[in-house]
Amino acid sequence: MRRLFDRVLVALDGSVRAEAILTPLGTLLAGAPGSDVTLVTVVAGEPREGYAVPEAGVVLRSDDLRAAVERYHARTIERFTLRGVRSSSRVRTGRTAEEIVDLSAELEVDLVALTTHGRSGLARWRLGSVAEKVLRASRAPVLALRSFPGGPALPDGAAFRRILVPVDGSGLSLAVRPLVAKIVGRTGAAIEALYVDDAPIGSDIPDDRSRGVLDAIARSFREAGLEATSRFRRGDPAATIVDAAAEGRFDLVAMSTHGRSGLGRWMLGSVAEKVLRHGTTSILLAPARSLQG
């Protein structure tokens, strides 16, 4: 039987900021025999001026590019090998987001992991826009680590310690629990479930209906073996989630999506879409259908 995160696809572009995902991912996979990580770098075909690679600023033409990427991957593979995790390397040519999504489907991965940042690195693609497309199109859960110039991606650089789980009370919104449980098991992270009622009524004091939803949410987390505090807020769901993540200094927002997705659509649930676009917290988005059955 497959365990969560048995097969992981990691997207790298040769930049230090893209590599920020490797540290927390290593924490999640440490001591997990049987895990298999595939590193992928996508290059866009024949460059006019060559590609800068992380080898003393060398600029290579396309004939040597594949070998340079493989040498770059080899150093990262060694890091995973030391943790007892199997690793392999793939180099793809084409449109970055499409190639990442296609490869994740070919390999039937359990997780796609990447860092969001601006233009830099080996293939010179904007991982900000790439990450958005991958998050919208992937059929597998996607872990996107936020990275900003001049600041660490995570407070301690190694693990997710505080996780916000937005839920709407539906079974689909709760489907992300197994992934959260996996992270908690590796990092001991604290969880807070956030239920947002968008009814324009009064204050942030739950009514009887909302209390019933909160009780059901708490029960569902206990059934999954998770200890979670619960919070109730009124307002626009996406804006409230973004604000709550920042106010509570959470370092990960984990949520299920149940909008349409898939190549050619680039669509996500409207709430997840807004959280992805406007939030500043790292995010784990899991298509509910990928976690069911």
Quote the pLDDT of residue 18.
84
Q: How far apart (Å, rounded) are the C-alpha atoms in residues 208 and 169? A: 14
Quote the pLDDT of residue 124.
38
Write out residues in the chain with pLDDT < 70, as ranges: 1-4, 31-33, 44-63, 117-128, 148-158, 200-203, 258-269, 289-293
Only one residue has tokens 């009370």, namely 169
Quote the pLDDT of residue 165.
94
Distances (CA, A) of 229 to 194, 226, 232: 9, 10, 10
Distances (CA, A) of 277 to 162, 239, 257, 273: 21, 11, 14, 6
Quote the pLDDT of residue 292.
56
Quote the pLDDT of residue 118.
43
Q: How far apart (Å, rounded) are the C-alpha atoms in residues 54 and 184? A: 34
pTM for the model: 0.84
The residue count of the chain comes to: 293
Q: By C-alpha distance, which of 223, 199, 226, 222 is closest to 210?
A: 199
| Burial category of 222 from C-beta neighbours within 10 Å (exposed 0-12, middle 13-18, buried 19 and up) | exposed
